[in-house]
A and B are shown apart, each in its own frame.
Chain A
Amino acid sequence: MIDVPSIADLNLTVTFPAVFLALFTMVVLIVDLFIPKDRKIRTAHLTLGGLVVAFVWNVLVFDSNQTALGGMYIADSFSGFINFIALTAAIITCFLSVDYLKRTGIEQGEFYSLLLFSTAGVMFMGAASDLIVVFIALEILSIPLYVMAAMRYRDAKSEESGLKYFILGAFASAFFLYGAALVYGATGTTSLPEIFASVEGIVATDSGARLYLVLGAALIFVGLGFKVAVVPFHMWTPDVYEGAPTPVTAFMSVAAKAGGFAALLRLMVIALPELTANIGDTIAIWQTTIAIVAAATMILGNFVAIVQTNVKRMLAYSSIAHAGYILMGVAAVGTIGVAEEATRAALIYMLAYTFTNLGAFAVVMALEKDDGSGTQIADFKGLSRSRPLLAVMMAFFMLSLTGVPTTAGFIGKFLLFGAALEAGLVLLTIIGVLTSVVSAYYYVRIIVNMYLEDGEGDPAEGATQYLNYATYAAFAGTLIIGLFPFLAVNLLDTMMIAGLF
């Protein structure tokens, strides 16, 4: 006889933000079929409506600290915060896409369904407490992005970008999967809390299982490292970012990163914090490796960004650098006792980066021509005169990416550096501060171009109604987090990663 659990046991209420969005995707898919080709803006409105409903629902169940669906899904403030980031990114991307898709002639209703699929993937990834769910969520996050990157089908660069992203993404998934298989082999379970429970015994006995566990964790790190673009797995980033349609690049740069880091943090915090060299050590065995990777990522990302002339490429390298900063938080998680603070810092950094980077891409899109040109740094010349408001906002985004006080980026970096120092990663913190100073060079160069150089005419022909909404929203988010950081910090004040802290 099959034992059927009651609906109440499934605890579906707390999963509703993600489950609702998944179901809503199907609605968008079907309704879109009945919307005529010249009215695709209605699909966008419908999509936005669904995202807002999911957003509100997420606020309602934000702090529920429960597991659902047989322990596969954790609804805690960690997953609530990741949902918050994913939905914010999707809403702003939706605004970014409306006019852009139309004027570049790639408007298709399926774009919005794919965007929702990918967003749901990020949300499931943040809430997954089982390696199987993490793997499938990783795929549903990635596969729509491969398609969206290739959507600009008249442009060979876009198709190439899609294929390149796809092949390296599939390659990375294979690494992740093999790592997950080895972790399963070492522990006999795919559930993250159960893996956590068996890690200590494995460390104590020093058996072959430990080799599997360390190797497995390393391969999972490689797989997720590809997704979030850390050195040395970053080579796809600039070409893919440059070739993909700009709203897709913007979404990719924040959502794929949020998903990848969510899985990485979950895994390191829930499953493997006790993977130490000896029983009783306070530093996890993987901390040094991750710290070195973080340092290399910050250095390479920031220095190569200096020589870029295309803003999309520059933002690609900048996104690599920012992955390095967030990775610093992941490394800090490896010191026992700092995990909570470091996780919170990494999450707030991601939120700040989400608003700031989407804003920066919004301004880039305002300048971008229909054929995809107009994204050189020189194209920013004279923007302060033709579009003063846009220039002010862009300057603010650039300062926030640098980490200047009163901006969101400063709050994120402040918390991250603090957590890293507390974890004893002094050298890494120094590298972080120094590379931030270096990054000022190329961010400020854009400000210099906008304010001190003369340009001809009005370059910002793409600054249309919906794009402006997106820019204002991103600007407001960056400003609010910068001025009132406690709003975001308080969200995570009672940070509970389901029963661990």
Chain B
Amino acid sequence: MTFNELSWEALAFGAFTILTLGGALGVVFNRNLVRGAVWLVVSLFGVAGFFVLLSAPFLAAVQVLVYIGAIGILFTFAVMLTRSMTNLSERFNKQAWLSALAAVTLFLLILLAVIAPIFGEIAAPSSEVVATTEDLGVALVSGDKFVLPFEVASLLLTAAMIGAIVIAREED
């Protein structure tokens, strides 16, 4: 096998795999909370890359905007507000024996995921129909599709906002 046989999709897949799993490993194993937040963003960015690869550009944009832009920043704020915890003396809790079990499973999975697919190119999707952003938008508000979850999700955001305010409000 020569280098030319590696398609760019396979290379991108490899690169995003490294970002996603590397970031995740960083979250699980690092000693510093601020770095943990950065690793999380790296991992989320890798997932956004996969979304592009899987022909879901709109979701990739939402992932970057909401997940990285909003959720990542919120995490950073929380880390700052609880500042004395940025350096953790003890990394793990007392259940570390579980890590052995999980790590073996994980290793096998990664072996399969990363090594097996790199020798080829991306398979064509089994269906040519790819949802466009317009399709998604229409589906979200049309009465015979997803309007119920859409409205309930609005309700959920309101509930979460009220809830966060109730908790964070100083005693008055």
Contact = CB atoms under 8 A, between A and B. Distances in A.
Q: Which of B138, B152, B160 has the most CB of A within 10 A?
A: B152
Given A133-B149, A133-B152, A143 B144 contact: no
A237 B146 CA distance: 34
B171 A153 contact: yes
Contact of B163 (A26, A130, A147): A147
Given A132-B149, A133-B152, A117 B159 contact: yes
Interface in B122-151: 138, 142-149, 151
A150 B167 contact: yes
Contacts of A137: 152
B166 interface: yes
Contact of A110 (B152, B153, B166): B166
Contact of B162 (A73, A113, A130): A113
Contacts of B146: 70, 72, 132
A140 B143 CA distance: 21
Given A73-B148, A132-B149, A5 B142 contact: yes
Given A136-B149, A146-B163, A153-B171, A26 B143 contact: no
Given A26-B158, A114-B166, A144-B163, A70 B144 contact: yes
Given A113-B162, A150-B167, A4 B142 contact: yes
Interface string A83-123: 00000000000000000000000001010011001001000
B156 interface: yes
Contacts of B148: 69-70, 72-73, 124, 133
Nearest to B138: A2
Nearest to B151: A22
B106 to A, nearest CB: 15
Tell me the dominant secondary structure on chain B's binding face: helix
Determine the interface band of chain A, counting residues with CB < 8 A from chain B.
35 or more
A150 B168 CA distance: 11
Given A26-B158, A133-B148, A133-B152, A143 B142 contact: no
A50 to B, nearest CB: 15
Contact of B160 (A9, A29, A143): A143
Contacts of A140: 152, 155-156, 159
Contacts of B138: 2
Contact of A144 (B142, B152, B153, B159): B159
Contacts of B152: 22, 124, 133, 136-137, 140
Contacts of B164: 147
B131 to A, nearest CB: 13
A367 interface: no
Interface of A: 2-5, 9-10, 22, 25-26, 29, 69-73, 108, 110, 113-114, 117, 120, 124, 130, 132-133, 136-137, 139-140, 143-144, 146-147, 150-151, 153-154, 162
21 contacts: A2-B138, A4-B142, A5-B142, A5-B144, A10-B143, A69-B143, A72-B146, A73-B148, A114-B166, A117-B162, A120-B155, A124-B148, A133-B152, A139-B156, A140-B152, A140-B159, A143-B163, A146-B163, A147-B163, A147-B164, A162-B167
> Closest 3 CB pairs between A and B?
A70-B144, A147-B163, A72-B148
Interface of B: 138, 142-149, 151-153, 155-156, 158-160, 162-167, 171
